[in-house]
């Protein structure tokens, strides 16, 4: 499948930004499941591209410098990616980080008693792969999709207590459950062409990857009760949503900021 992605973000600042540095993790991952046909990142006159490098997790990091004064910073992504269904398996992805680095917890992925009880539900007799699938189904059942009930700061424990959330919350909860069953897990950001019901997805997306001995990293999208397939484009990963944020940076002045985000993912003819 060939997917055209348009992702436009505009940062509007309360006060002029005099200077800033942005770290962008917005380029598609390099592995057998996807091939970049074209990919352009632009910040208009507000930004100037700097050094780029591939980190130990295999993600491409591009640095941009903001030179003000500016009150508005656009980040425009236009690209085409050819995808292949690998049943969620991350084949051919080069990285140097030991998978067990992803056993460590963060503020967003600290387990509580309820998460521990949920993680203990599946049988110990399941294979590692079957266990990962069962944990993903548990997230789908116990944290159904509900928009507006969580925030960017909501933790996995809080999402389970609320009984709902969005893709960020589903990924965090699944990561906690997997780690409690001694399987490394990480947060993945990217794009989704359509959900399980075939509805167009008009936002960036997130899911979890679980490391399975003998198989490697396998993606699980608990929000849609599936593994990433040809409808998904993977861009980056991390210990949680904050660590895997597509855009991170610091600015001098600027004050409060507001974001205007528009995302479109559509299939195009090959």
- Kindly give the confidence (pLDDT) of every residue in the chain, 270 residues in length, as a single tens digit, with 9 standing for 90 and above: 999 999 999 989 888 888 889 999 999 999 999 999 999 999 888 888 899 999 999 999 999 998 888 888 899 999 999 999 999 999 999 999 999 999 999 999 999 999 999 999 999 999 999 999 999 999 999 999 999 999 999 999 999 999 999 999 999 999 999 999 999 999 999 999 976 565 666 678 999 999 999 999 999 999 999 999 999 999 999 999 999 999 888 888 767 888 888 999 999 887
Tokens of 208: 């979890």
Instruction: Please determine whether the domains at 2-82+246-268 and 85-238 fall in the same fold group of CATH.
Output: no
What is the predicted pLDDT for the residue at 45? 84
CATH 2.60.40.2250 fits 2-82+246-268, yes or no: yes
Of 256, 185, 204, the residue nearest 14 (C-alpha):
256
User: Is 249 within 8 Å of 15 (Cβ atoms)?
Assistant: no
Nearest-5° Cα angle at 6, 27 to 228: 60
What's domain 85-238's architecture?
Roll (3.10)
The DSSP element (H or E) to which 6 belongs, if any, is strand 2-24
Q: Choose among 225, 158, 213, 222: nearest CA to 184.
A: 213
Q: What is the pLDDT of residue 196?
A: 57
Residue tagged 């909501």 (tokens): 154
| Predicted pLDDT at 35 | 97
How many residues would you count in the chain? 270
Could you give the CA distance from residue 70 to residue 78 in angstroms, rounded to a whole number?
A: 23
| pLDDT at residue 258, as a whole number | 85
Centre a 10 Å sphere on the Cβ of residue 33 and count the other Cβ atoms it contains. 27
Rounded distance, CA 199 to CA 23, Å? Answer: 31
Map tokens 């090959």 to a residue.
270
Q: In this structure, what DSSP letter does residue 99 have?
A: G
The encoded tokens of residue 151 equal: 């925030």
Domain limits, the chain: 2-82+246-268, 85-238
Residue 168: predicted pLDDT: 97
Tell me the C-alpha distance between 24 and 190, whole Å.
13
d(CA 9, CA 91): 31
Cis-peptide, bond into residue 64, ω within 30° of zero: no
The residues, ordered by sequence, that sit 6+ positions from 148 with a Cβ below 8 Å of its Cβ are none
Taking residue 262's Cβ as centre, other Cβ atoms within 10 Å add up to: 12
State the virtual CA torsion across 61, 62, 66, 72 in degrees, nearest 10: -80
Instruction: Please tell me the predicted confidence (pLDDT) of residue 14.
Output: 87
Q: What is the DSSP string of 195-207?
A: -TT-PBP-SEEEE
């Amino acid at each position: 499948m060939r997917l055209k992605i348009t992702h436009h973000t505009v940062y509007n600042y309360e006060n002029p930004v005099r200077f800033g540095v942005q770290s962008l993790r917005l380029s598609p991952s390099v592995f057998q499941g996807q091939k970049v046909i074209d990919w352009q990142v632009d910040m208009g006159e507000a930004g100037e591209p700097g050094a780029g490098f591939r980190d130990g997790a295999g993600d491409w990091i591009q640095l941009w410098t903001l030179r003000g004064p500016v009150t508005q910073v656009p980040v425009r992504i236009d690209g085409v990616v050819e995808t292949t269904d690998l049943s969620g398996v991350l084949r051919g992805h080069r990285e140097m980080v030991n998978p067990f680095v992803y056993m460590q917890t963060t503020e967003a992925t600290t387990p509580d008693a309820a998460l521990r009880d949920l993680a203990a539900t599946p049988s110990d007799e399941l294979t590692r792969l079957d266990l990962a699938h069962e944990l993903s189904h548990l997230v789908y059942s116990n944290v159904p999709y509900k928009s507006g009930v969580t925030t960017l700061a909501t933790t996995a424990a809080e999402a389970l207590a609320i009984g709902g959330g969005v893709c960020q919350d589903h990924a965090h909860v699944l990561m906690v459950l997997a780690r409690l069953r001694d399987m490394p897990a990480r947060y993945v950001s990217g794009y989704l062409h359509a959900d399980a019901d075939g509805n167009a997805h008009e936002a960036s997306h997130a899911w979890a990857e679980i490391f399975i001995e003998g198989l490697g990293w396998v993606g699980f999208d608990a929000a849609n009760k599936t593994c990433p397939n040809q409808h998904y484009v993977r861009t980056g990963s991390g210990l949680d949503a904050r660590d895997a944020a597509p855009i991170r940076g610091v600015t001098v002045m600027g004050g409060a900021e507001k974001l205007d985000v528009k995302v479109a993912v559509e299939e195009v003819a090959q």
